[in-house]
């Protein structure tokens, strides 16, 4: 167990990573609890609507100078932030385990991933942002300038409490925007620690503003505020729709990284050992609480029984425990997540599925530990085949033909990522063309990273994060046409 758990607050306070109060008007305090034990980890000051407005005031006031800063100076501050994040990796990882519950190896991996966006956009800030146009008008010369939009609001979830902040903030800051950040109420400590490291890196006052508080109140202020020119949200499709509507009156630029419902498709030519190992990662990473999590496994009839047996054996071998013991699976974040697992298992069984393993809470470990679960013969009518489960329950289903599996995989309002396992190049080509997903992973699970444009089709989102494309929502194109007369 995490033997210095009780001293975590003290340790982080000593490191200066736990500010007692924010920079903006605060009302009351928010208790942060360890999802594995229910223990109180820390209390943080929360802001109200006045605090949210004050953050925009500060960001707006800082925008003129920050956007005029030379790119190499912005890049230098981002590079310092990158170095400080990596330097504080162990503390940041422990904070994450304490408030989010994920295994410490995954938490360390997330810090590396989070830092990589800061490094990438430090370098991207230096790339030319002027493009010439071949003139179609006599005597005129034309250019396209990319300019920062202004204040950007960044709204992030609890499942990747550091990476979802840096993926947005580094792009916005590198582009010359100032930011107001609202992290999830479940994981404010990671956000506050990143904010403190940003201050130490030398971002001028008002450039990075992190506000903890009631989401509807804080984010509601920001969506209504016409000074906030861009809004980047990662979270559920349901809240995404709400923020889309709320942003309409002020016509904000939007990035929406929303829910997923990934199909995981295995053909007979696949390397089955590899497909099982990658399937375990695609299902159980982040204890199943991952927008890229495989929600539906479609396995060809020729290898179905074999896959079911091997996948169940691999699932039963997964360890569960407190994140500091570095198990394969930690606790879920709150009881609503547990309720969803229970409901999806019950519903699938009622509609004809078979339970191969798991299916219940581990009472010995605690109320938020759900046994990794495998369901076979899950029918398309089961809720788990259309609703995001966001937990450690795998739904396996058999298919016969390529046409059938493409139709079933695409029969979803989500379109974030799809996984395909096959060694037939022509089949892989047809599948990757036909699947309506923003990302297609072939014979592997890990596909993300700072240089790739992450994002989904359909109701999985709008726009892309990471890569050059991640700058688009934070910049506007100004077209200039000059005639020297």
Query: CB of 259: closest distance to ligand NAD in angstroms?
Result: 4
Where are the strands (E) in 150-293, listed by range? 151-155, 178-182, 208-210, 228-234, 253-257, 262-266
Task: Assess 321 for contact with ligand NAD (CB under 6 A).
Answer: no
Task: Assess 466 for contact with ligand NAD (CB under 6 A).
Answer: no
Residue 317 CA from chain centroid, whole number: 27
Among 80, 82, 182, 344, the residue binding ligand NAD under the rule CB under 6 A is 182
Binding mask 105-144 for ligand NAD (x = CB under 6 A): ----------------------------------------
Give residues with Cβ within 8 angstroms of 336, minimum separation 6.
Answer: none
Q: Which is nearer to ligand NAD, 155 or 382 (CB)?
A: 155
Q: Which long-range contacts (CB under 8 A, 24 or more apart) does 133-140 make?
A: 133/479, 137/481, 139/483, 139/484, 140/481, 140/482, 140/483
Task: Assess 234 for contact with ligand NAD (CB under 6 A).
Answer: yes
Among 172, 177, 193, 219, the residue binding ligand NAD under the rule CB under 6 A is 219
> Which of the stretches 34-42, 123-131, 233-241, 274-282 binds ligand NAD when contact is defined by CB under 6 A?
233-241
C-alpha span between 168 and 255 (Å, rounded)? 9
Count of other CB atoms within 10 angstroms of residue 74: 22
Task: Assess 388 for contact with ligand NAD (CB under 6 A).
Answer: yes
Among 35, 51, 188, 259, the residue binding ligand NAD under the rule CB under 6 A is 259
Query: CB of 234: closest distance to ligand NAD in angstroms?
Result: 5
Among 63, 113, 160, 307, the residue binding ligand NAD under the rule CB under 6 A is 160
Q: Which is nearer to ligand NAD, 150 or 235 (CB)?
A: 235
Task: Assess 215 for contact with ligand NAD (CB under 6 A).
Answer: yes
Query: CB of 389: closest distance to ligand NAD in angstroms?
Result: 10
Q: Which is nearer to ligand NAD, 81 or 390 (CB)?
A: 390
C-alpha span between 224 and 6 (Å, rounded)? 41
> Which of the stretches 59-67, 90-98, 102-110, 156-164 binds ligand NAD when contact is defined by CB under 6 A?
156-164
Query: CB of 239: closest distance to ligand NAD in angstroms?
Result: 3
> Which of the stretches 5-13, 58-66, 72-80, 153-161 binds ligand NAD when contact is defined by CB under 6 A?
153-161
Question: Quick check: 322 and 359 in contact, CB under 8 A?
Answer: no
- The residue among 122, 113, 124 whose CA lies nearest residue 163 is 113
Which are the catalytic amino acids?
257, 291
C-alpha span between 258 and 7 (Å, rounded)? 36
Token reading at 439: 């990302």
The three state secondary structure string of 265-301 is EECCCCCHHHHHHHHHHHHHHHHHCCCCCEEEEEEEH
Question: Quick check: 252 and 228 in contact, CB under 8 A?
Answer: yes
- Using CB positions, name the residue nearest to ligand NAD: 235
> Which of the stretches 17-25, 143-151, 154-162, 354-362 binds ligand NAD when contact is defined by CB under 6 A?
154-162
Reduced to 3 states (helix: H, G, I; strand: E, B; else coil), residue 457 is strand
Token reading at 456: 């989904």
The residue ranges that bind ligand NAD (CB under 6 A) are 155, 157-160, 182, 184, 215-216, 219, 234-236, 239, 242, 257-260, 291, 388, 390, 416, 461
């Amino acid at each position: 167990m995490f033997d210095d758990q009780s001293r975590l607050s003290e340790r982080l306070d000593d490191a200066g990573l736990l500010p007692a109060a924010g920079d903006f008007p605060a009302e009351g305090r928010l208790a942060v609890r360890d999802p594995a034990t229910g223990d109180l980890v820390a209390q943080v000051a929360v802001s109200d609507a006045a605090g949210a407005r004050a953050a925009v005031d500060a960001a707006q006031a800082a925008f003129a100078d920050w956007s005029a800063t030379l790119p190499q100076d912005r890049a230098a501050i981002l590079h310092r932030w990158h170095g400080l994040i990596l330097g504080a990796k162990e503390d940041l990882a422990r904070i994450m385990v304490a408030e989010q519950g994920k295994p410490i190896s995954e938490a360390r991996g997330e810090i590396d991933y989070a830092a990589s966006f800061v490094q990438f956009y430090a370098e991207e800030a230096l790339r030319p942002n002027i493009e010439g146009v071949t003139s179609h008008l006599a005597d005129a010369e034309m250019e396209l300038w990319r300019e920062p939009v202004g204040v950007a609001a960044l709204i992030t979830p609890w499942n990747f409490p550091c990476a979802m902040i840096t993926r947005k903030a580094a792009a916005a800051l590198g582009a010359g925007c100032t930011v107001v950040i609202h992290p999830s109420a479940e994981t404010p400590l990671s956000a506050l620690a990143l904010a403190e490291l940003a201050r130490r890196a030398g971002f001028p006052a008002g450039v990075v503003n992190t506000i903890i508080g009631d989401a509807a109140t804080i984010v509601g202020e920001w969506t209504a505020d016409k000074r906030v020119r861009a809004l980047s949200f990662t979270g559920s499709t349901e809240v995404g729709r709400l923020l889309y509507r709320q942003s309409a009156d002020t016509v904000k630029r939007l990035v929406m990284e929303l829910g997923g419902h990934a199909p995981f498709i295995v053909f007979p030519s696949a390397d089955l050992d590899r497909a099982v190992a990658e399937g375990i990662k695609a299902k159980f990473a982040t204890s199943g609480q991952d927008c890229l999590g495989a929600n539906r496994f479609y396995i060809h009839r020729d290898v179905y029984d074999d896959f079911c047996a091997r996948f169940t054996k691999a699932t039963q071998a997964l360890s569960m425990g407190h994140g500091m013991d570095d198990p394969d699976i930690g606790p879920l974040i709150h009881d609503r997540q547990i309720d969803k697992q229970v409901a999806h298992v019950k519903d699938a069984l009622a509609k004809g599925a078979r339970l191969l393993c798991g299916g219940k809470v581990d009472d010995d470990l605690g109320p938020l530990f759900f046994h990794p679960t495998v369901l076979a013969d899950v029918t398309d009518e089961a809720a788990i085949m259309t609703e995001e489960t966001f937990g450690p329950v795998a739904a396996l289903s058999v298919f016969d033909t390529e046409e059938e599996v493409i139709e079933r995989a695409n029969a979803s309002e989500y379109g974030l990522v799809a996984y395909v396992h096959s060694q037939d190049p022509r089949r892989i080509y047809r599948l990757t063309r036909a699947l309506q997903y923003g990302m297609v992973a072939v014979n592997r699970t890990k596909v993300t990273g700072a240089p790739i444009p992450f994002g989904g089709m359909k109701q999985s989102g709008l726009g892309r994060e990471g890569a050059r494309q991640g700058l688009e929502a934070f910049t506007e194109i100004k077209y200039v046409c000059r005639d020297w007369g």
